[in-house]
């Protein structure tokens, strides 16, 4: 794309701009390749203008920013914009030809349930015959179904990576895609310019308040998805949904708790083979089977069905799709073991509400004792949830092991002390702290009997463990397998 054309696409004057070719766009000088446009963003810690010289050395052809610092000049063409982050996204959309306009796009937002709902929706759309891609926190998939991961420096994809991935999906023949829309992605314009056909709302609870400040601000960012979608799929069991009604041109509702809704589940049962329930819906009445643990997944299934039906899936395709769903890596994932060994479950639950749901679910299906291994993230990320996590863990599990989970620059001892405080203030003493997560997992697994279950909570499918300033390679399922292998036959029960 030529620089004058890109400026015009951004609503800027192209007068006197050189006729240079632009190959890409980025806001990180370390990611620059020759021919890129560099966007200088003023952040909380750094001003991107300080890196213009580095970006120029790597071959950028022009710079976008909200204005040069006083007294400074730029040797490259400088395009002044009112909002640099918005310009980053708009430039990425223009450079990649607005790929979302060539796809049927489903967005999913909420505090918990986003990933499972995204994967379910992707699966149902494929069952309906649509070549469907996926962009989630677990990774991304093209229609071929192979799970891919962004390079380490793209752990949280920015707008250029989002648009490049969507273009790649279109180029390989995708007809639809499902995107998780986190509050950070919405607030930081990472998904700006995406043409949303459907926006799914799961539910809202306290999370990421270190970034958003208040629950109301957090809600306001997530609400953007519903405001920008042609159809909203809304959970009437969530109190926040009342503030979302009427924001989208079209809407459909769902309930797994018996409330009046377009998509409603009833006669819900849970057994060894998963969930069974009946569905009342605009598509008709039918019985559904879902091979997943946890009644809360009924709500995720209803949301996914509402979206997939809107995009053309019929009843039989919905029923067959649910019945053949294999789950999500790191979401209530059963770790294979030998006969007579305890059940080990890996799940991403890392907030008090999600941990409560996971433990309550496993309690209902565990004939023996229930253990949990849980940590809490460090840094400024919601330190207020550490004590509640300790309280929930010790109230719903027979025994809890507190351990590390990406403590970063926060002393791990401080995090564990807060979790212990939450347990003690609730009158609980059924816990111990083991700093090393691998040792914590081995301790728990080796302490269980054949009828017992242990939930390894918090890491799920993440492939790194942030310990201080290090980002160590990590595989929670692999650690669980190693612990089972080391434990062999069930050992003695420990109090």
**Residues that constitute the known binding site for ATP:** 110-116
**Residue 88: which residues within 8 A CB-CB, separation 6 or more?**
25, 27, 39, 41, 64, 158, 159, 160, 189
Beta-strand pair 464-467/470-473: antiparallel
Burial class (CB in 10 A: 0-12, 13-18, 19+), 288: buried
Q: Most distant CA pair in the chain: distance in Å? A: 79
Instruction: Identify the sign of the CA torsion 255, 259, 262, 266.
Output: positive
Q: What span, in angstroms and rounded, lies between the C-alpha atoms of 60 and 124?
A: 43
Q: What span, in angstroms and rounded, lies between the C-alpha atoms of 439 and 435?
A: 8
Partners of 464 in the β-ladder:
473
Tokens 């890392």 belong to 350
How far, CA to CA in Å, does 363 sit from each of 286, 330, 338, 369, 387?
29, 19, 22, 8, 22
Partners of 253 in the β-ladder:
234
Q: How many helices (H) and strands (E) does the chain have?
A: 15, 23
Please give the torsion angle defined by the CA atoms of residues 477, 482, 488 and 490, in that order, rounded to the nearest 10 degrees: -50
Partners of 265 in the β-ladder:
279
Residues in the chain: 495
CA within 13 Å, CB half, 145: 8
Question: Residues comprising the binding site?
Answer: 110-116, 155-156, 182, 190
Q: Which two tokens stand for residue 374?
A: 């849980």
Tokens 């962009």 belong to 135
């Amino acid at each position: 794309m030529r620089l004058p054309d890109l400026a015009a696409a951004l609503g800027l004057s192209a007068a006197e701009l050189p006729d240079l070719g632009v190959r890409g766009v980025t806001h990180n000088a370390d990611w620059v390749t020759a021919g890129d446009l560099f966007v200088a963003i003023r952040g909380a810690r750094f001003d991107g203008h300080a890196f213009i010289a580095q970006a120029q050395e790597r071959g950028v052809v022009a710079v976008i920013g909200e204005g040069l610092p006083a007294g400074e000049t730029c040797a490259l063409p400088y395009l002044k914009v009112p909002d640099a982050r918005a310009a980053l996204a708009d430039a990425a959309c223009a450079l990649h030809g607005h790929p979302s306009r060539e796809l049927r796009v489903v967005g999913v937002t909420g505090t918990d349930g986003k990933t499972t709902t995204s994967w379910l929706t992707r699966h149902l759309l494929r069952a309906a015959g649509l070549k469907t891609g996926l962009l989630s926190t677990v990774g991304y998939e093209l229609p071929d179904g192979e799970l891919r991961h962004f390079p380490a420096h793209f752990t949280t994809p920015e707008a250029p990576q989002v648009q490049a991935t969507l273009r790649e999906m279109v180029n390989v023949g995708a007809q639809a895609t499902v995107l998780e829309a986190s509050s950070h992605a919405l607030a930081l314009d990472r998904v700006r310019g995406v043409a949303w056909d459907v926006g799914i709302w799961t539910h809202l609870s306290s999370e990421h308040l270190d970034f958003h400040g208040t629950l109301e601000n957090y809600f306001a960012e997530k609400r953007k998805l519903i405001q920008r979608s042609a159809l909203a799929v809304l959970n009437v069991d969530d109190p926040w949904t009342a503030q979302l009604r009427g924001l989208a041109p079209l809407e459909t509702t769902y309930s797994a708790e018996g409330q009046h809704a377009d998509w409603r589940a009833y006669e819900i049962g849970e057994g060894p083979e998963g969930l069974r329930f009946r569905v009342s819906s605009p598509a008709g009445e039918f019985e559904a089977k879902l091979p997943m643990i946890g009644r809360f997944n009924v709500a995720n299934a209803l949301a996914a069905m509402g979206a997939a039906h809107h995009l053309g899936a019929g009843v039989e395709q919905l029923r067959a799709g649910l019945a053949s769903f294999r789950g999500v890596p790191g979401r209530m994932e059963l770790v294979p073991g030998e006969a007579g060994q305890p059940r080990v479950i890996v799940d991403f639950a890392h907030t008090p509400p999600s941990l409560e749901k996971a433990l309550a679910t496993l309690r209902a299906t565990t004939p023996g004792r229930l253990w949990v291994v849980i940590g809490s993230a460090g840094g400024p990320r919601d330190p207020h949830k550490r004590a509640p996590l300790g309280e929930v863990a010790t109230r719903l599990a027979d025994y809890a092991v507190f351990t590390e989970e990406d403590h970063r620059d926060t002393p791990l001892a401080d995090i564990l002390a807060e979790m212990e405080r939450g347990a003690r203030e609730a009158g609980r003493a059924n816990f111990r702290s083991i700093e090393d997560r691998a040792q914590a997992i081995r301790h728990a697994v080796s302490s269980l009997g054949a009828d017992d279950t242990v939930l390894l909570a918090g890491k799920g499918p993440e492939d790194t463990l942030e310990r201080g300033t290090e980002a160590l390679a990590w595989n929670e399922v692999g650690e669980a397998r190693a612990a089972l292998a080391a434990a062999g036959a069930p050992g003695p029960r420990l109090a």
